Amino acid sequence: MKRRLGPLGWATRSLDGFLKVSHFDDFLARIHHAGRPDFFASALEQADIKPSWADSCLARIPRTGALLAVANHPHGMTDGLVAMEFLLRARPDTLVIGNEWLARIPGIRPWLIEVDPEGRSNLAGTRRALDHLKRGGAILMFPAGEVSSLRPWRRRVEDPRWSDSFVRLARRTKAALLPLHIAGRNSGLFQAAGLLHPRLRTTLLLREFLAQKGKVIRLRAANPVTPTQLAQHPDDAEAAEFVRLRCELLPRRERVPRPAATEPTKQAELIPR
């Protein structure tokens, strides 16, 4: 990894220790050595990250047909690992749209549709996503395109504006949209660095990923948005905001008292039986 860091290649030993590059290299080596077919479960186990969701959320994943799952992006790499482990429980045909950083993780390529975050060379990735959905497959994507960060004018940590590209993709393929919400946020150091410069924030992503060690990451799923429901929002930007709102309301709904007993959350097993 250190040889591939581009602008970080000049890092000194002390900077390497702060950014946790060597620790991340060790994580990659453990994944490679494990060589398990259940890649995402293995990666979460090696990172000592424990995903958690309710059985009712798992039941909301359509078992057949084109499906586009969209999620908020509070942490970074952790989000992709947790959401993919969740979706693969019900949809073994799930692929994830991600960038070159994800592509560097050994073993992930069979599930990865690689895109350029700068948007310069995404034609091949877009075609692959379209073909997969038209064949009735499932795809995970993060419409924010970057990790949640502090928005000073709103006094909160949140995703930037979601791209409406996922809406156009769903319309073209008649895919159902599954809103997912991943709980949590990165550290105060990460948020402060982003206020100085976005690239400073990016350099801390490996450190933030490794800081998730020992934590439980909670995922929630809403009911799918059907093509018919999506058609009721003809403007793509407005439709994207509608789906994002469905995602953001998920944790708030659980805070509202209900007359019936709620289902206890079940922590996902890392290794499927």
pLDDT of residue 267: 37
Place of tokens 């390529």: 109
The tokens for 96 are 């994830």
pLDDT(68) > 70: yes
Task: Provide the β-strand partners of residue 180.
Answer: 71, 221
pLDDT at 131 over 50: yes
Q: What is the pLDDT of residue 34?
A: 83
Do 53 and 220 form a contact (C-beta atoms < 8 A)? yes
Name the residue type at position 43: A
Find the mean pLDDT for residues 173-197: 95
pLDDT for residue 120: 60
Contact between 148 and 72 (Cβ < 8 Å): yes
Sign of dihedral through CA atoms 258, 262, 55, 72?
Answer: positive
Cβ–Cβ under 8 Å, residues 2 and 22: yes
Task: Give the tokens for residue 142.
Answer: 């993060």
Mean residue pLDDT across the chain: 86
Residues 6+ apart with CB under 8 A from 234: none
Residues 6+ apart with CB under 8 A from 137: 66, 67, 93, 94, 95
The model's pLDDT over 198-219, given as tens digits with 9 standing for 90+, comes to 888 888 999 999 999 999 999 9
Gap between the terminal Cα atoms of the chain: 33
Reported confidence tier of residue 146, pLDDT bands at 50, 70, 90 = very high
Q: Can you state the angle between helices 236-248 and 165-173, rounded to 10 degrees?
A: 100
